[in-house]
Amino acid sequence: MSFGTAPHDVGAARRRFLRDGAVPDDLVSRPILRSWVRCAGLGLDMAARPRVEPMTSSELREVCERHQALRQICRPEVEAIHADAKATDSIVILTDASGIVLESLGSADFGERAARVALKPGVTWSESSTGTNAIGTALAEGRPIEVRGGEHFFEPHHILSCSAVPIRDARGEVVGVLDLSGHATVHHLHALGLVRLAVDQIEHRFFEEGFEHCHVLRFHADQALLGTPREGILVFEDQRLVATNRYGAALLDLGPDALARQSFPQLFAAALGRIEERCKLRNHHGGEFHARLCRPARDVAAKSRPHRAAGQGVAEPRFDDATLASRRCAVRLLDANIPVLLQGETGAGKEVFARQLHAHSGRRERPFIAVNCAALPESLIESELFGYEDGAFTGARRHGATGLLRQAHGGILFLDEIGDMPLGLQARLLRVLQEREVTPLGGGRSVPVDFAVIGATHRDLRHLVATGAFRSDLYFRIAQYTVDLPAVRALPDRDALILTLWEQLGGAQIGVTLAPESLQLLAHYDWPGNFRQLVGVLRALVVLAEPNDPLTPDRLPSEIRGAPAPAVQPGGAGPCIAPAAMSCETMRLDDMTTQTMRQALATSGGNVSAAARRLGINRSTLYRRLLSKTVEG
């Protein structure tokens, strides 16, 4: 139900709607009422059961292939929310623009219940098929929406509480929907906010490629938001506006018909050809914006296409010295074509580490193909990996498909969660690794491939080998060198780590500070989801907090607030973090200096600049000192 709407209000609204078709006043939200009216107008009956017919496996395969680009660009966010969805007994769903479910990942227990109401791949969740629901109603309304319990048109769907946000491409066209669904009995307070944030990230990436021939203007009234998913983006081709994101349209109050009708001179009081790469712009209504301009490739032939500045809205795990030493060894082994296996708990940064290996390897200019062996539908995993020839099966795409293994040719193949790969597929993968050839489905001719292999798992592969759940010959093939990535709870100086991530995510830059008590609770929580959970929580806090207002403990998730608090020194300087062999009274000068810096940070609410001014040192000195201490571990 909508926030503030009691279950009996929705029940009363449904009874009135069923009895006389009247639109109840003030019992449910206007979007829900509009949806009920649309569904009734289509001849749907609230008291009946929805009639849905799932696609055949070949039809689903064809749809998934048609939307491969969408699935690929959404994969980081789908997998990030997937990790949270399992913990909250929910599922994350990606659909195409017509509401067909392409992927459904999350809690196995709730996923089974959701499947009973056909919330699974291959089923259409448009309003015309399944009545009022978050996916279909978000598509019909063209806006984010929550649909809870009895707000769903059909009674079998009352077990669901769903939050969905449409995904728009660079031209403003809806290309899909991202949805988080859980039990209707649980109030998923921040679900819609988390899905909105994920869609912001997805839509921001639509502008990373495909506009090399255009002027791309990134702008915002707040300079701190440049480079983040909340920046406005306008794309001009020969002065004409050809693409924009919704933040850019909102900042300039552009209507849906602005594309191809607006030009740069109509929007800004400046000449496009004369403005600097970094500048300030005014629109014709007096608004002032900070801006960055990326010129067409033909205008900057001597320069490579600029990348987003590091640290702006991006937060990554920071590895200790031992792990970085292992990285150097792993790079040398990959360059010698020797496989590397990464082991670590879920969320410990295995894919980030794998991408770092790729970036430092001799294959850095060639593809990095990531395959989540646990996320690929079992019915599609073989064709996804090995590809297929024309006519290999009913519904196969004309001219066939290359497959991920052949796409990795010359580069690196990253097999994430390889411990979850089905046994039958393990045998085929082993043959590829031994023979360095891929045989597509339905094809008699093998294709030579050359790629380095990085495997990753959170499971104990040796135990799986002992129980027969994983092939021993494949294990010895991929585990010739193993890197163990530490869990967040095993890292020292977590307060400095959290402040670093907070700054990378833009919290301090937009005036959102961490109260000392909040920082202490965050630093001493054990983070079972590791970096994925930590970064996800910090992102949500940045979005939900009020600017220029310290974020107090009451704003933190309940499980973090309820964690046992550490002992605090009498002077209020924070927890004693000296090693066991060294008392707080006998700490070295170096440690006392570091602790003084931490205390200044806590007093300043996590604001690095304010803490540096308090100590009378440069901001960069403070930042570098605390960061080095985090890495030293």
| pLDDT tens, position by position, 162-192 | 999 999 999 889 999 999 998 888 777 788 9
Sequence ranges of the domains in the chain: 7-55+87-167+177-189, 215-300, 321-483, 488-632
At position 61, the amino acid (one-letter code) is: R
| pLDDT for residue 44 | 92
If you average pLDDT over residues 517-546, what whole number do you get?
88
Mean pLDDT of 540-545: 83
Give the right CATH number for 321-483 from 3.40.50.720, 3.90.1570.10, 2.130.10.10, 3.40.50.300.
3.40.50.300
Reduced to 3 states (helix: H, G, I; strand: E, B; else coil), residue 178 is strand
Contact 520, 575 (CB under 8 A): yes
Phi/psi of residue 326, each to 5°?
-65, -35
- Tell me the mean pLDDT in the region 549-557: 86
More confident residue, 230 or 22: 230
Question: Which pLDDT tens digit goes with each residue over 303-334?
Answer: 433 333 323 356 667 676 778 788 889 999 99
In single-letter form, the type of residue at position 346 comes to T
Query: What per-residue confidence (pLDDT) applies to 353?
Result: 92
Is 50 exceeded by the pLDDT of residue 412? yes
By DSSP bridging, strand 482-484 and strand 340-343 are parallel
Within 8 A by CB and 6+ apart from 356, the residues are 327
Give per-residue pLDDT as tens, 422-481. 888 888 889 888 888 887 776 667 788 899 999 999 999 999 999 999 999 999 999 999
List the one residue out of 134, 119, 113 whose CA is nearest residue 35.
Answer: 134
The reported pLDDT for the residue numbered 190 is: 81
Tens of pLDDT along 583-614? Answer: 333 344 455 566 667 766 666 656 666 666 66
The burial of 241, by beta-carbon neighbours within 10 Å (0-12 exposed, 13-18 middle, 19 or more buried), is given as buried
SS3 per-residue string spanning 240-306: EEEEECHHHHHHCCCCCCCCCCCEHHHHECCCCCCCCCEEEEEECCCCEEEEEEECCHHHHCCCCCC
Look up tokens 């929705």; give the residue.
Answer: 10
Most confident of 134-148, 349-363, 484-498, 602-616: 134-148
pTM of the predicted structure, to 2 decimals: 0.51
Output helix, strand, coil percentages for the chain, rounded to the nearest 5.
Answer: 45, 15, 40
How far is 340 from 333, CA to CA, in rounded Å? 8
Q: For the chain, what is the mean pLDDT?
A: 81
pLDDT digits (tens, 9 = 90+) for 196-247: 999 999 999 999 888 888 999 999 999 989 989 999 999 998 888 999 999 9
* 569: pLDDT strictly greater than 80: no
Residues 364-385 pLDDT 10s: 888 898 888 877 665 566 677 7
Overall residue count recorded for the chain in this entry: 633
Alpha-carbon gap, residue 105 to 114, rounded angstroms: 11
Segment 48-72 mean pLDDT: 87
The reply to whether domains 7-55+87-167+177-189 and 321-483 share a CATH topology is: no
Question: What's the whole-number mean pLDDT along residues 274-280?
Answer: 88
pLDDT at position 617 is 63
Examine the pLDDT at 421 and tell me if it is beyond 80. yes
With a cut of 50, say whether residue 632 has pLDDT above it. no
Lookup: tokens for 158:
């009352």
281-290, 431-440, 495-504, 506-515: least confident range: 506-515
Q: Would you state the pLDDT for residue 588?
A: 46
Terminal-to-terminal C-alpha distance of the chain = 47
CATH architecture of 7-55+87-167+177-189: 2-Layer Sandwich (3.30)
